[in-house]
Amino acid sequence: MSKTMTEGLRKTRGASSAPMSRRRFIRISGAVAGLGLAALGGRFPGKAAPSLLHEWRGVALGADASLRIYHPDAADAERLVADAVAEVHRLERVFSLYDNTSALSRLNRDGTLADPPQELVELLAASARYSRATGGAFDPTVQPLWELYAAHFGRPDADPNGPSTADIAIARARCGYEGVAVDDGQVAFARPGMAVTLNGIAQGYITDRVAELLRARGVTHTLVDMGETRALDGSPAGRPWSVGIKDPRVEDGLLAKLALDNQAIATSGGYGTEFDAAGRFNHIFDPATGLCANRYLSVSVIAPTATCADALSTALSILPIDRASSALAGAGATRAYFVLPDGSVVDRSA
């Protein structure tokens, strides 16, 4: 991916070659951005002068990404941004499904991977924890379902009712998070045809890694969005960051305003990637049925880490609301906001 430098630290990267990115449609502006999130209030007044804001915008794993650092030294801020972007690129080479040389692509191709990168081991282990906490609703092994639906709707004569029941059953037989054996020396699949996607958690993980890198370098009052959003402390104005849950039905519309202070937020919504023009089929799959999630317009989750928020927003997209509190508590998340088909918002806490 190419990079160009414009004024100050504002950077943009060329669009990812990854097809059908579920977050590509998001517009990043103002103070906060991410899937389902919209900025409120623009630049922050108060303790931090605008001249101290250093910003990068680009792409991470096919998702719109941004980094906002308030720092008194422009040269040091530029080094911090450069180091953060380098970390993003390094992790992309582990988790990308569209780079044939990535660790994840090699695992999916061969069914086994010796001496896996530690980050892949960590994220697969975390995925298994969130799978257990949600009763299997979060399952990184649904990649065969993605491949089935993408191939089906990629044909000019595709049945608008989706893949056949038989084809879905075949793909589902290749899924199941329990079929991934993970340790420091090897990752291996239990059955032929299995494949993993980390698109429901990797953006959150990368967001956390960048946030931890900056925290270790003494950065505070910063907003990191590498596909999901994490706040280090509150805003420089001395109050929480303010974020809005977007209305999927209305351009620039907001359904709720939330405060974010030293927390993370992630949103999942089927409208991010739709396989068909009618919008009946999307990228969020129910592992139990092989069908696409259509319960909600979107689900937003607040959690201590973006990894947790990302995984839970994916899982809760297919679960009934009455199971939300137990899933949140089991995973360590704090609160969830469900946008129903009529645009109303229902929230649940752990």
Is 189 a member of any domain? no
Higher pLDDT, 87 or 40: 87
| pLDDT of 22 strictly over 90 | no
Residue type (1 letter), 49: A
Residue type (1 letter), 318: I
DSSP 8-state symbol, 17: -
Is 169 a member of any domain? no
110's tokens: 């061969």
Mean pLDDT across 51-69: 83
Give 272's pLDDT tier (boundaries 50, 70, 90): low
Q: Determine the 3-state secondary structure of 21 from DSSP.
A: coil
pLDDT in tens, 90-115: 999 999 998 999 999 999 999 999 99
Is 151 a member of any domain? no
pLDDT in tens, 123-175: 999 999 999 999 999 999 999 999 999 999 999 999 999 999 999 999 999 99
CB-CB contact of 46 with 238 (8 Å): yes
Is 194 a member of any domain? no
| pLDDT of 187 strictly over 70 | yes
Give 49's pLDDT tier (boundaries 50, 70, 90): very low
pLDDT in tens, 234-254: 888 888 988 888 888 887 788
Distance CA 126, CA 143 (A): 17
Give 45's pLDDT tier (boundaries 50, 70, 90): very low
Expressed as residue numbers, the domain containing 307 is 3-97+200-273+298-349
For strand 112-114 and strand 11-13, is the pairing parallel, antiparallel, or unpaired? unpaired
| pLDDT of 28 strictly over 70 | no
pLDDT in tens, 287-335: 999 999 999 999 999 999 999 999 999 999 999 999 999 999 999 999 9
pLDDT in tens, 203-237: 999 999 999 999 999 998 888 999 899 999 888 88
Buried b (16+ CB within 10 A) or exposed e, 124-160: bebbbebbebbebbbbbbbbbbbbbbeebbeeeeeee
Is 148 a member of any domain? no
Is 308 a member of any domain? yes
Confidence at residue 217, expressed as pLDDT on a 0 to 100 scale: 93
328's tokens: 């949140």
Query: What percent of the chain clears pLDDT 70, i.e. is strictly above it?
Result: 85
Higher pLDDT, 10 or 111: 111
Confidence at residue 277, expressed as pLDDT on a 0 to 100 scale: 85
- CA 137 vs CA 9, 54, 194, 221: distances in Å: 40, 39, 17, 34
Mean pLDDT across 332-349: 94
What is the DSSP annotation of 167-232?
HHHHHHTT--GGGEEEETTEEEESSTT-----TTTHHHHHHHHHHHHHHHTT--SEEEESSSEEEE
Is 141 a member of any domain? no
Distance CA 49, CA 72 (A): 10
Confidence at residue 284, expressed as pLDDT on a 0 to 100 scale: 93
How many domains in the chain?
Answer: 1
Confidence at residue 250, expressed as pLDDT on a 0 to 100 scale: 80
Which of 3-12, 21-30, 73-82 comes out lowest in average pLDDT? 3-12
Residue 61: give its domain's CATH number. 3.10.520.10
pTM score: 0.85
Buried b (16+ CB within 10 A) or exposed e, 83-114: ebbebbeebbebbbbebeebbbbbbbeebebe
DSSP 8-state symbol, 10: -
Is 334 a member of any domain? yes
Which of 59-73, 188-202, 299-313 comes out lowest in average pLDDT? 59-73
Provide the mean pLDDT of the chain: 84
